[in-house]
Each structure stands twice: as structure tokens, then as C-alpha cells.
Chains A and B, each alone.
Chain A
Amino acid sequence: MNVEKIIENIKDRNLSSYFQNNLLVVNPFQNHKIENYKYSQLNKIDFSKNHNCIRELDLNTKDNFLKMFQKDKTIEEISTKHINWDFNGPDSAIRLASLAEDPFVYIFNLDIIDGDICIIDIALYKELNFEFNFSNKDKMSIVIIDSNHNTNKNPRYFKFNVYEKSNIEILQMSYNKVSSLIFYEFNQLNSSVVNLTVLQANNIHLRNEYYFNLGSECICKISGANFSNLGINDNYSFIQHSKPNSSSREVFKSIINDGAITNFQGKIYVNKVAQKTDGYQMSRSLLLDDISKSNNKPELEIYADDVKCSHGSTVSKINEDQLYYFNSRGISSELATKILKKAFIQEVLGSIEDVFLKELSDKMINNFL
């Protein structure tokens, strides 16, 4: 089994069935000749050294795999009051727990009331794979929290089917992961909108892969930030424009220090029929010292002849002149650096629209940056 086959499968839209059959045996890290995993060198990480670097972050959202809340509630209010369990498939959390280590994909149909917030704590059942169907016409917000101190034995797989004209905003947070490989697949049907924000911090080894398949007139926006990581932090994205008139915007920002390595590899893939595609991809890294490393590999694969696609990549350090400007106003270099780090990822945070999602992201930033 190899990962190239996963990529082949994603082009044929058979990823979920592929995972149902093969998930347990995929181990791409053992073969560094695979192009998409060339920077993911696990043998470079000393896991034992970093085990005591776990920092607690209390979001008050834990203990339930799936929670739904009404909007305009504070974290304190919603943590004690969850409104609505409504999904098909396994009928209780207990049942889910008893099914752990099951390689099959569980399907949830989420029929969500306008403005509700759904929190999915994917670390709670750490061996399970899930598929979520979103069919709401109104805008809804989802938080995906992925945090546990254990090593995941197997890669995991999550699929999100976003139906026609649906509009979802997702905040996906990964922190305190020791070793983890997760595949996220978003299947966007015509005229749907997905606004995905990814925050990753304090992980020892993390690789997240994001697969998007866009129908016609779809909008896909991905904004990612990773900071204060310890080993290797990997992000791979594959955005496939399958039909005409869809647009994708992707920005990934990394702040790297203390000898950590951040990899970003992203491909915009435009099918032959996907005319008038508008694709944009940007990855930016801020290196805080000279022992850390950033690998960026932007890719375009275009088969249509009337499209607009661009990509770019930058690596920089803290701007000395900006630091001097802060100092000249009496602000210490330490505080200025902290402010400049947050400023660097401000573009990513600015893409979050939902107030509750903003609140959670602020907590994560303040805790780890």
C-alpha cells in the first residue's frame, strides 16, 4: 500500500472507500521516496526528549465527542448546556467508545438550525473515522478540536460532505499532539462555501492533509497558522477544481523556532472542464532562529485553458527595523517579538467570522504563542 495510490484515488473520488479498506496499513513515513512525504522524516524527531512539553489549554469544550450549541453564548454558558444530539449511525457516545479501533467510517447527518455551533472533539475516540453530511442552507460554524497526548497508532480519516448552497465555517485546532497523521476531505457540491481556519501549536509531530473537491460556483477558503511546534509540523493540501467557476484561496503561515521544522506542500489541481477557475495559494514562514527550518512546495496542475491560478511562498525573519521602531517607543524586544508574531498570523485570524470561533482561537493563541 502506498500514498501515491491515495492521491490517485482522490482524483477518482474514491478516497472514503479506499480508507475503509486500507486505512490500517497505510504508513507513508516509512518510505521517503514518496514525493508528498519527502520532508516528513520521522527519524529526525526525538520523541522522548519532548514528552514533557505538553501545555494545558482548557477550552471547556471537552468530554463529549459531539456537541451542538446555540449562538451568542459564552463558553461558560454553553459548556453546561448542550442543546441537541441529533445524528444517525451509532446512537450514543458509549456505543462509539466500545467500537474504538474499528476501521470503518461512521456517518453523521447534521441537520443544523440556523447559527448553531457544532463542536467535534475528534481526539476523544482516537481510532475512529467519521463522515459528516452538512445540508443546512444557513451559515453554520463548526469547531474541530484535535488534542491528545498519545501517539495515534493509525492515520485517521474525516470526510465532510457539504451540500449545494451550504455555507460552513470551520475552525480546526490541533495542539499537544505527539504523533498524528490525519486526512481531512471536503467534498463541496455546487454553490457551497467552506471557510476553513487551521491553528496548530505545541505539536511534536503532526501531519494534516486537506483534500478539497470543488463543484461549480464553489468558494473554498483555507487559512492556516502554526506556531510554537516542537518537532515536524506538516501540512499537505490538495485542492481539486472539478467544475467551472469555483474559487479557492489558501494561505498558510508558520512561525518556527527552537529547531522545529515546518513543511507545507500544496497543490491546486484544475480539471479540464473546470474553466474560469480562480485559484490562489500562499505560504509564508517566519523563522525566529537559524536552527529551524521551513520547507515550502507550492504546486499547480492545470488542464483547463481559461483559468486564473497563482501561488507564492516566502521565508523571512523578524524585521529588525520594525523591532527598532518598537524599541524606540520603549517597548522591549521580547514584547515586540510577541506582538510581531501575532501580527504575522493576523491575516489568518482575520478570516474567522464567527464570534465564538474567534474567542476559541484567541484562547489558543494566548496559550501557545
Chain B
Amino acid sequence: MLNINNLKVSIGDKEILKGLSLNINKGEVHALMGPNGSGKSTLSYVLSGKDKYKVSEGSVDFKGKNLLDMNVEERANQGLFLAFQYPMEIPGVQTSFFLRTAINAKRKSQNLSELDALEFAKLLKIKAQELNINPDMLKRDLNVDYSGGEKKKQEILQLSMLNPDLAILDETDSGLDIDALRIVSEGVNRARNKENAFLVITHYQRLLNYIKPDFVHIIADGRIVKSGDYSLALELEEQGYEKMAKA
């Protein structure tokens, strides 16, 4: 589904990703772990298409198409979803309105008719309930005055509504208390199926107790330095990044 080959990315003069390669097939969950400043978030932004990042070398292939040729909204409508580490606050835009606009944008790109208000409300009610989100929250402005945990739940709500082929979770566990971590993880596990894939970016092994990855990769200084299965995350927890990155 996603094929990243020797990707080199810089901001200004500073090279951040220095030849990163990663292959994700459908049905798989990959965890990407690494210390601060290793390029985790840069990778997620580059894949989603944020500007300011310059790709100097390498290629990214998504469902057989060149991802780097598409703009941000095309990537989203092709089925790529990024759950942000710091979701934006949008004052003046109701959460449910935003969700409906996003769903209809995707449907439009697939030449489907817009979801009518009733169908949308039904779907939203079910999905919000699953994530233990109070319906009153959906009437409030998007992410405005939400707590850290509420914002992350909101991202997972968007994920479950939009049903992407590839979801990247950028440190979704940061800022979550234990209960919220469980609810968010359950939301992700519910969305998992044989046709989609996940790239879970995290600092901590704890999230992976809930979302069991098929593969674990360690990123350091802009490259993937080690790959393995879930046991690699446990090993990392014991030994720390410094030792593992060198090994």
C-alpha cells in the first residue's frame, strides 16, 4: 500500500530524513519509535503533504500512485489520514459541520452523492458513542477549549468517520490519561481490518500494549536503524533509545 524508498527531506538547509525506506502492506500495523528530533513527525507531515518540507531524493508510492505528485487534499481523498499530534483549533466552525464537510468532500472525490443530514447524524451518533464522546461536544467549535485528551479523541472520531486506507497516528498517545488511552486504542482497533493499514508513531511502548503492531521500526537521525516484531518495542523499553540506535 505504501512504499517509501530512500526518502531524503529537508527544511531550509537542514536535512531531517536521510534516506528512509519503509514498506507497509494492507492489513498491517507498523509502529515507528524513536527519540525526539529523529524525524518521526517530519515523516508524517511529508506523507500528508505539508509544504515547507523539501523532498530532495527518493520516492513514495501510495496504492500504485506517486504520492509526492498529489496535493494535501488529493492525498486525503485517496485514503491517507494523519491524526495530528497537535490538532488545530478552528473557532467558529462546529465540530459536526467540519466532519460532515470532510465526509462529503471525500464522497465528492469518489463521485458519490452527499450524505444527507439524517444519515450523517446516525453515523456520527454511533461513532461518537463508541469513543465515549459527549454529543454536546459535537456542537462546539472544533477543538476550541477541548482538553488534550478530547482533541485526540476527536482525531480518532474523524478517522473512524472517514475510514481511510492508511492512517498515520502521530504521537496520539501523548497527553492522554490511562482511560483515554484505552478508549482511543479501542477506537483504532475497531477501525483495523484486512483492507487498511496503520502507521503508529510513538515514544512509548505503552500504547503498543493496546494497539498490537505487526512490525516495529526504530528511527534515529532520519533513518530506520532497526526493524522487528513487537518484541523489539519491549527490548527498547528495557534498553533505551541510545543503546538501541547504536546497536
Contacts and interface: CB of A to CB of B under 8 A. Distances in A.
Contacts of B72: 324, 327-328
A33 interface: no
B76 A325 contact: no
B77 interface: yes
Contacts of A325: 84, 87-88, 90
Given A325-B87, A327-B73, A330-B76, A343 B162 contact: no
Interface-centre pick from A325, A330, A342 (highest chain B CB count, 10 A): A330
A225 to B, nearest CB: 12
B92 A344 contact: yes
A329 B88 contact: no
B207 to A, nearest CB: 22
B113 to A, nearest CB: 16
Contacts of B209: none
Interface string B135-158: 000000000000000000000001
B92 A327 contact: no
Given A324-B50, A339-B93, A330 B88 contact: no
A346 interface: yes
Nearest to B79: A330
Given A322-B88, A322-B90, A327 B102 contact: no
B17 to A, nearest CB: 19
Contacts of B90: 322, 325, 340, 343
A347 interface: yes
A321 interface: yes
Nearest to A324: B50
A331 interface: yes
Among B92, B158, B162: residue with most chain A CB under 10 A? B92
Interface string B79-93: 001101001101111
A289 B172 CA distance: 36
Contacts of B73: 327-328, 330-333
B71 interface: yes
B76 A328 contact: yes
Interface string B203-243: 00000000000000000000000000000000000000000
A320 B246 CA distance: 39
A53 interface: no
B106 interface: yes
B96 to A, nearest CB: 13
Contact of B101 (A321, A333, A339, A347): A339
A346 B48 contact: no
B105 interface: yes
Contacts of A335: 101, 105
A327 B76 contact: yes
A344 B91 CA distance: 8
Nearest to B99: A329
Interface string A220-233: 00000000000000
B109 interface: yes
Given A324-B72, A335-B101, A335-B105, A330 B162 contact: yes
A331 B82 CA distance: 14
A325 B158 CA distance: 12
Output the residue of B49, B71, B90, B106 with the most chain A CB within 10 A.
Answer: B90
A352 to B, nearest CB: 15
Contact of B71 (A327, A329, A343, A344): A327
A329 B91 contact: no
Contacts of B92: 340, 342-347
Contact of B77 (A324, A330, A346): A330
A330 B82 contact: no
Contacts of B71: 327
Contacts of A339: 93, 101
A55 B92 CA distance: 26
A321 B84 CA distance: 12
A329 B71 CA distance: 12
Contacts of A345: 92
Interface in B26-76: 48-51, 71-73, 76
B111 to A, nearest CB: 14
A345 B93 CA distance: 11
14 contacts: A325-B87, A325-B88, A325-B90, A327-B71, A327-B76, A328-B48, A328-B72, A329-B98, A329-B158, A330-B102, A331-B102, A332-B73, A339-B93, A347-B92
Q: Which 6 pairs, one residue from A and one from B, show the smallest C-beta to C-beta distance?
A: A343-B92, A346-B92, A327-B72, A330-B76, A329-B102, A325-B88
